[in-house]
Structure 1
């Protein structure tokens, strides 16, 4: 997988992104544009390097789950990336900013799968494939300088995913539609929104995920996480914060941001 059809060294780009993430340094986007298909090849090659170092796959994350953002970026489907066990952070724990470059946080809904997702699902089938749901937050941390990138760049960069925190899981899927979302820094609301921003209903993210997996001729094992996408805009993390998100009846998830040395 060294060269793409337009003579892009896909492996070199994967190594560059993986190294930037490991070394916590920002890089410039590549000067030569790639196609979306090539961007996913770069993404998978970069994630494969993590797996080779011992990180275990735990699920996937979705991006562009907001209809408005799809229109803004001129795309007609979601983008997606991969989650590994090294990205998990404890609910109520302390986040070390030295693990990141310029991290931001956004409130999300996280699903836990009960069955293997190996084909495209309908909305009527989605719940039958799920074990539980939880309030969550994703820490995004683009490896590109100043968080500036094109669509293909962010896909290659695993959709900026860096870490995630999940709250308590529940098997009650009745409280997902149009539920209030509040993300607070030190008790002050910094983002207010609704789960309706996630494709109108977060369960639609399961349908979209199944379609993306099917198109890629891949499956997702039972016991995997699916991060459904952001319910609001992201906020920049700074030292000394207590970050908490409440999502309707789903509950609360929180973490602290440690002080820099």
Structure 2
């Protein structure tokens, strides 16, 4: 049990101070349950400092990535209010260790969504959808880590930017999108990359969050997962997503 708290404190400090830490489970010997316990404990430190839970992020929402990692399920992390970056504003590169960015679809819920739900029930809980960006950051030295270490490190989630909210009645099953750096397209993708339909990601979020005793609440944001490969980001860049029908969102990177 002490190791859980020690690893959680280590990762909390690494995220808070943007410092690298050595791997503590390089062979992936920790169970996924232990990894999530470290994540939960690490985020509890943030909540103890006054941050508020605002939702969850989903990871490995591509079937190919799941198979590559030897997983039968997606992974997830916790979002707090301190992680949200206002659209069009700046982040400081020095606040991150190995920052990358990926384009996503975001949901905001109008009512709780708990446990094993259908896609129709998931959709009925959605207030609105938006184009979004997630900043992911691994705190491990030399960008080397095992699967349990990724999960323990809040599934690499470090920040998120939400674009304009739109009606959930929009057909978002297969919206084309681009991830852009300084207006130049780096990756092209579709919301269909998210488990074949983004609603499947929301269904998984409801199941996993409830199983952890933290069911999805009204007003929470669910980041549905990366729709393209992640792109490294650097100072003096403008990073943006452009999504069919839904518009764009972006942020600047300063030194």
TM-score range, shorter chain: over 0.9
Q: Could you say which residue in structure 1 is the equivalent of 2:224?
A: 228
Instruction: Decide which of 8, 21, 34 is 1:38's aligned counterpart.
Output: 34
TM-superposed deviation, 1:39: 0.4
Gaps spanning 5+ residues in structure 1: where?
Answer: 3-8
Q: How does 1:35-184 map to 2 (within 5 A)?
A: 35-184=31-180
Distance 1:31 1:216, change over 3 A: closer
TM-superposed deviation, 1:150: 1.2
Gaps spanning 5+ residues in structure 2: where?
Answer: none
TM-superposed deviation, 1:147: 2.3
TM-superposed deviation, 1:54: 0.7
TM-superposed deviation, 1:31: 4.2
Separation (CA, whole Å) in 2 of partners of 1:176 and 1:121? 19
**Does 2:20 align with 1:26?**
yes
The question of whether the paired residues in 2 share the 8 Å contact of 1:175 and 1:249 is answered with: no
Q: Could you tell me the TM-score, scaled by structure 2's length?
A: 0.96
Q: Hey, which bits of structure 1, 4+ residues long, moved more than 6 A?
A: none
SS at match of 2:167: coil
Q: Could you tell me the TM-score, scaled by structure 1's length?
A: 0.94
Separation (CA, whole Å) in 2 of partners of 1:150 and 1:220? 28
Instruction: Decide which of 197, 203, 206 is 1:207's aligned counterpart.
Output: 203
